[in-house]
Structure 1
């Protein structure tokens, strides 16, 4: 088959046009997040379906300055099955958008049910510092494919990876952070790890970007802190903690105003807000799990909006 498939080499006849049932394709509304080379073989005697992910091509990373760390979750949905649907996972392929995979996944399928089965493949980007993000998905009903019963000549084709319809960034960038609260000290800690895809600002040579956190009560700004400034990058890494003294009884009334700011001019005297968002603490489930169950909160990406 093709080593580096072009769009014309992907059979979109395999797909319907509704995401609810299968991967869809719309020239205007959808764009590809890459492609996966898949091999299928069905053993009639054993009732065993073998799915081989052979390789992936041009997977799209969430950040714009590096490669993803992809891994794959494979599920075969067997209708009217008495067994619970199982999901199998590949290993992680680090720092590559076109991994050679060659991993096999086995599923038990009753004779006669193969055509109604749906193959589901989710592509994730592993991040050791935060929640893994879904790059895209590939769903197709096997009745649309002629599945080989000859192990020596399996069915092989390229399938398109379509973007997962989650909270897609608005173009103002994203910030990776986590929240923690130390009850004994009554101290809130905002851990700011990094930002990505911040809007470009063609300022002077002294320009730099930083993250600014403001405590707000009833729309009034109470206290403000910011990270250090990082020069000449739209994807700065901070790994800094900003702490605020807040009584536990006041937590539910606190909003965090989170801003990515562009500092310019000599000594960074000028300041422009690139993107912002408000985060009410009473809606932060991770924070309350940290307080009530003493579970360490995970870092999450938060999308910024127009300032």
Structure 2
């Protein structure tokens, strides 16, 4: 009897599958047997042994000594500065720095237990060390420095601090305008924003990246949380984009002059080129210090004196009206100065908040100055940025922290 061709083909396929399954089983069985033999040899070599002690017998592992050679090399794509390679960036907790090559002598196994992490991973103020992750890349063809601020961690000033809007300012000093991220309502903000700065290759050697972290305040000057300064000369930008993880230096009231509260001043600057007129709009002041009157303190009677200097020489000075018995005066007063356009870049604007004692003072006598502020080409921080806004014809209101005016430098009627 002749089988149909279709049935013959089916039988052939079944036979082939059966043969393949049989061969696969044989292969698996032999491989499993070899693995069992290897495991048995390892067990015999490292078998647990029993050792007699005063407390009885205990089981110990028969592990041979293992020696390891550690080589201090950088991870591909990671850059180390000379300070980091010397170990100066070590963590304050005593753990090895994540920025420099590992050294086995730096490790203490106790550091990596759960109990140690719970006790030691936080600082003495009860919070983890604040950090920021950002990347730097230099486009040599277009002479553009690209800085991407990715995220920051543990920016909380105190354990009971509530939710706040936090933003980051980015600048390349000297000479570049400050830029800032969008505010994030978190003390662990994820910014992920890119900023570009025009800078030549020769300027990189003396340039510094400055990152500032602030809490946005609607009714007063934004509060500085911390900052990072990174010199570009310390990193190698020839290898493309570099990712950096840096500790944030927190601004603490006991160690930072910026936190000493001598008051704040809100003002706006503008310049009209066609009329060559400089306008200083004095809006309001906040948290001015009280005036000592014998053994008592009283609210000041403040007015603002504005002085324009050129090469250290007084050009003009004007003052606002006096507000009585208040530490939070509101002025809303504009003061105009005729300043030639070619002279504008060389001037300095000095502002003094002065207590009006109401007593006629002889010429050369001292007046009690509550706070002082200077805006110009030699200023720093927000004062310098406001100066750049003026020269860029971008009038906007800014809060400024007033500096202390020392007793030896007290304002006289001969001074501005």
Question: Could you tell me the TM-score, scaled by structure 1's length?
Answer: 0.49
Higher Cα Rg, which structure: 2
User: When the two structures are superposed, what TM-score results if normalisation uses the length of structure 2?
Assistant: 0.38
Q: Which has the higher contact order (CA 8 A, sep 6+)?
A: 1
Q: Which has the higher helix share?
A: 2
**More strand as a share of residues:** 1
